[in-house]
């Protein structure tokens, strides 16, 4: 079965040798070592729990070299959320024990057997069916689909109770299992793509040997009906093939989701489609059906619709990254962005390609992202904070707007939001943006300084609280001072000011001051500047800096 490369997680140098022995068995696996404790790991982490949970949520198989109890307690909060889970194993740091913990349907016992064999020990397998038969009947290899999980479970318990079984059809992986086979058995495992009602005591396993090539966009029902007419089981469908011109069709995408198969695209004039072993038959006016003698490798047929997601990492801390962004990072083939942010978005697996560029090459990066996505890859462009706030989302749309390349316009493009620096900073201080506010970048790289001055003047006059991004930099040393002078025309020196630096990152600092005391040397390009309105106020909190908030009302308190 094909699966993602595992992550080998260790807490101390004492586990490194065992980790490396496991890595020899899985050369693509990365060793994650605890910061300051492990030397020579492929990746370091500082928070064991957060790292393990993130790997789990990204469907990465986990091999943790520590006590099983630690792994169980760490992942426990996530267990109820998840249907199919990645394999999770605990391995003793001296290589004496391999304990599969989670991911029975994800192949954890296979992994346990492989690791145990590599370490020369016996795996601690506790799944009765597997112990007896050496394979999980309920988890056929990729290329095959189990008919009915509940029937399967009953079937395994019948076998465990001592029944024998007949195997009808071609199941290469079962030949290796120690099933009690008997041609006269009451129980039968039937492997085939024909549509029929399973008989009593029959477990159906469907080889994914069938493809459907549609001539235009159709729904799932049309495809089901056509397969039924051809007496083919829909469970044997491996993919839907369509012309590239149909790539953005929502109807086809819905059909693929409903049937649980991928969509693959081929040039409109491509004949024949797919591997030579396919035998084609026309089925009505909408589609043709192809059948292969053995399960199909879908990745070899045409190409997928490419995806481009422009994501916001939030200010820095993993806890402030939205789950949709984490999932997107896990599925990405390519990750593009400014190097600092790409590193922040990691760690990545060996099969994921990082494209790090300079912070200023935004349009070039956006075009590169479309080129990769148009090849059918899953591409992520990273921004810090929110991608729509002085960041990559607008650059990506500008690149698309300028392009007449139909392949770029067919890409599945989505923006995934993040917690912007102004909001993360405001939350630390209390609620300085609790009423109307104005967000501005003080950078005059892409707009004239005169418009910045005008907007500052009007926003300050309008008594909006102000959030300044890009407040200052080495190439823009004087602008912040001028900006503060303009604001000071409309605000008193006692107006509260919040400075958040490296918010959500290890070096985070928060400073509460006033407009009168604020000087540009307290601010750098990693700082977010929030300036209160006339109603913004502060009061001491029990410990630490003052609370800052802007009341929800204006004028007379209601
Ligand atoms: N898309 C980003 C903003 C990019 S502009 C977002 O939504 O947050 C870059 C500016 O954002 C920096 O100059 C700084 O003013 C601010 N900034 C970004 N991350 C920050 C952080 N973690 N702490 C404080 N300010 C930050």
Nearest atom within ligand 1 for CA of residue 502: 23
Q: Is residue 137 part of a domain?
A: no
Choosing from 468, 469, 503, 509 the residue with most ligand 1 atoms within 8 A of its CB, the one to mutate for a pocket test is: 469
Q: Is residue 554 part of a domain?
A: no
CATH number, domain containing residue 379: 3.40.1010.10
Q: How far is the CA of 528 from the centre of ligand 1 (A)?
A: 6
Q: How far is the CA of 507 from the centre of ligand 1 (A)?
A: 14
| Helical segments of 144-196, H only | 149-160, 172-175
Let me know whether 252 and 154 are in one domain: no
Let me know whether 405 and 426 are in one domain: no
Helix (H, G, I), strand (E, B) or coil at 471: coil
Tens of pLDDT, residue by residue over 434-452, are: 999 999 999 999 999 999 9
Q: Is the pLDDT of residue 23 over 80?
A: yes
Choosing from 421, 429, 499 the residue with most ligand 1 atoms within 8 A of its CB, the one to mutate for a pocket test is: 421
Nearest CA to ligand 1 atom 12: 470
Query: Quick one: average pLDDT of 366-388?
Result: 96
Let me know whether 430 and 539 are in one domain: yes
Let me know whether 430 and 544 are in one domain: yes
Helix (H) / strand (E) containing 271: none
- Those residues with Cβ within 8 angstroms of residue 222's Cβ, 6 or more apart along the chain or in another chain: 255, 286, 287
Q: How far is the CA of 91 from the centre of ligand 1 (A)?
A: 41
Q: How far is the CA of 397 from the centre of ligand 1 (A)?
A: 21
- Given a contact cutoff of 8 angstroms between Cβ atoms, the answer to whether 524 and 409 are in contact is no
pLDDT bin (cut points 50, 70, 90) of residue 1 is: very low
- Boundary (domain end) residue, out of 266, 300, 334: 300
Residue numbers of the domain that contains 244: 216-300
The ligand 1 site (C-beta within 6 Å) comprises 315-316, 383-386, 389-391, 420-421, 425, 469-471, 500-505, 525-528
Greatest alpha-carbon span in the chain: 95
Tens of pLDDT, residue by residue over 465-483, are: 999 999 999 999 999 999 9
Let me know whether 453 and 531 are in one domain: yes
CATH number, domain containing residue 489: 3.30.950.10
Nearest CA to ligand 1 atom 6: 385
Let me know whether 223 and 296 are in one domain: yes
Write phi, then psi, for 413 (nearest 5 degrees).
-100, 130
**Closest C-alpha to 483, from 454, 521, 522, 462:** 454
- Boundary (domain end) residue, out of 272, 300, 328: 300
Q: Is residue 345 part of a domain?
A: yes
Nearest atom within ligand 1 for CA of residue 508: 23
Let me know whether 160 and 45 are in one domain: no
Let me know whether 401 and 431 are in one domain: no
Let me know whether 440 and 496 are in one domain: yes
Q: Tell me, what's the pLDDT at 247?
A: 92
Nearest atom within ligand 1 for CA of residue 391: 1
Q: Is the pLDDT of residue 191 over 90?
A: yes
Q: Is the pLDDT of residue 92 over 70?
A: yes
Q: Is residue 499 part of a domain?
A: yes
Q: How far is the CA of 384 from the centre of ligand 1 (A)?
A: 7
- Boundary (domain end) residue, out of 189, 207, 225: 207
Q: Tell me, what's the pLDDT at 142?
A: 84
Number of domains composing the chain: 5
Let me know whether 526 and 443 are in one domain: yes
More confident residue, 548 or 138: 548
Q: Tell me, what's the pLDDT at 82?
A: 56
CATH number, domain containing residue 108: 3.40.50.11220
Q: Is residue 461 part of a domain?
A: yes
For all residues of the chain together, what is the average pLDDT? Answer: 92
Nearest atom within ligand 1 for CA of residue 386: 7
Q: Is residue 555 part of a domain?
A: no
pLDDT bin (cut points 50, 70, 90) of residue 119 is: very high
Tens of pLDDT, residue by residue over 475-505, are: 999 999 999 999 999 999 999 999 999 999 9
Nearest CA to ligand 1 atom 2: 385
| Helical segments of 108-264, H only | 108-119, 128-133, 149-160, 172-175, 220-229, 250-259
Q: Is residue 168 part of a domain?
A: yes
- Those residues with Cβ within 8 angstroms of residue 142's Cβ, 6 or more apart along the chain or in another chain: 1, 2, 295
Tens of pLDDT, residue by residue over 380-404, are: 999 999 999 999 999 999 999 999 9
Let me know whether 247 and 160 are in one domain: no
Q: Is residue 432 part of a domain?
A: yes
Q: How far is the CA of 381 from the centre of ligand 1 (A)?
A: 16
Q: Tell me, what's the pLDDT at 215?
A: 93
Let me know whether 14 and 121 are in one domain: yes
């Amino acid at each position: 079965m094909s699966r993602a490369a595992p992550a080998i997680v260790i807490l101390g140098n004492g586990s490194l040798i065992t980790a490396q022995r496991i890595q020899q068995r899985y050369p693509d696996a990365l060793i994650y070592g605890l910061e300051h404790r492990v030397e020579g790991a492929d990746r370091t982490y500082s928070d064991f729990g957060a790292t393990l949970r993130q790997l789990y949520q990204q469907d990465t198989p986990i091999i943790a070299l520590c006590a099983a109890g630690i792994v169980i307690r760490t992942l426990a909060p996530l267990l109820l959320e998840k249907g199919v889970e990645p394999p999770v194993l605990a391995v003793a740091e001296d290589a004496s024990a391999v304990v599969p913990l989670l991911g029975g349907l994800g192949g954890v016992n296979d992994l346990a057997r492989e690791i145990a064999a590599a370490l020369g020990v016996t795996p601690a397998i506790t799944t009765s069916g597997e112990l007896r038969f050496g394979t999980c009947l309920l988890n056929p290899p990729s290329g095959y689909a189990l008919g009915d999980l509940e029937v399967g479970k009953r079937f395994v318990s019948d076998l465990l109770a001592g029944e024998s079984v007949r195997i009808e059809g071609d199941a290469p992986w079962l030949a290796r299992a120690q099933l009690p086979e008997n041609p006269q058995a009451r129980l039968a495992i039937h492997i085939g793509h024909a549509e029929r009602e399973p008989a009593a005591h029959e477990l159906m396993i469907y080889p994914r040997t069938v493809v459907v090539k549609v001539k235009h966009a159709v729904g799932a029902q049309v495809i089901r009906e056509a397969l039924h007419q051809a007496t083919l089981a829909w469970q044997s469908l491996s993919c839907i093939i369509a012309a590239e011109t149909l790539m953005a069709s929502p109807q086809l995408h819905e059909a693929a989701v409903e049937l649980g198969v991928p969509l693959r695209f081929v040039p409109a004039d491509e004949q024949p489609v797919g591997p030579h072993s396919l035998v084609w038959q026309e089925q009505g006016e909408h589609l043709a059906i192809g059948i292969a003698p053995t399960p199909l490798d879908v990745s070899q047929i045409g190409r997928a619709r490419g995806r481009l997601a422009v994501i916001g990492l939030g200010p820095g801390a993993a806890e402030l990254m939205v789950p949709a962004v984490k999932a997107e990072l896990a599925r990405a083939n390519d990750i593009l962005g400014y190097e600092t942010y790409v590193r922040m978005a990691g760690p990545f697996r060996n099969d994921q390609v990082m494209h790090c560029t300079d912070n200023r090459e935004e349009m070039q990066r956006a075009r590169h992202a479309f080129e990769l996505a148009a090849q059918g890859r899953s591409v992520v462009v990273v921004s810090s904070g929110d991608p729509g706030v002085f960041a990559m989302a607008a650059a990506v749309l500008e690149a698309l707007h300028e392009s007449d390349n139909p392949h770029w316009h067919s890409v599945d493009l989505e923006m995934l939001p993040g917690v912007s620096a102004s909001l993360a900073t405001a939350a630390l201080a209390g609620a300085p943006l609790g009423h109307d506010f104005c967000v501005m970048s003080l950078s005059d790289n892409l707009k004239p300084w005169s418009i910045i001055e005008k907007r500052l003047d009007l926003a300050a006059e309008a008594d909006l609280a102000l959030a300044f991004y890009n407040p200052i930099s080495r190439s823009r040393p004087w602008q912040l001072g001028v900006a503060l002078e303009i604001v000071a025309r409309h605000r008193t020196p006692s107006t509260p000011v919040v400075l958040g630096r490296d918010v959500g990152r290890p070096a985070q600092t928060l400073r509460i001051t006033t407009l009168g005391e604020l000087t540009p040397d307290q601010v750098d390009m990693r700082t977010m500047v929030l300036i209160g309105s006339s109603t913004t106020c502060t009061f001491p909190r029990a410990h630490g800096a003052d609370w800052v908030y802007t009341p929800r009302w204006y004028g007379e308190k209601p």
